[in-house]
């Protein structure tokens, strides 16, 4: 059975957005983790 091109197009757009946004969020989280970890390493702990 043939379906409209729109049906397939919107499906592809939706999953592209789902995956791209979540990958971007994970990359942002990783960058933030890396930045704070290196900042902690160069800061003296309380009482040191």
23 binds other proteins (CB under 8 A): no
Which residue has 């592209």 as its token pair?
16
| Smallest separation (angstroms) from other proteins to the CB of 30 | 8
27 binds other proteins (CB under 8 A): no
Q: How far is CA 46 from CA 1, 36, 39, 43, in A?
A: 69, 16, 14, 9
Which residue has 């390493």 as its token pair?
41
User: Which residues contact other proteins by CB under 8 A?
Assistant: 1, 3-4, 6-8, 10-11, 13-15, 17-18, 21-22, 25-26, 29, 32-33, 36-37, 39-40, 43-48
């Amino acid at each position: 059975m043939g379906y409209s091109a729109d049906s397939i197009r919107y499906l592809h757009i939706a999953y592209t957005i789902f995956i791209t946004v979540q990958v971007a969020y994970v990359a942002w989280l990783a960058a933030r983790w890396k930045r704070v970890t290196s900042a902690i390493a160069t800061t003296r702990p309380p009482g040191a």
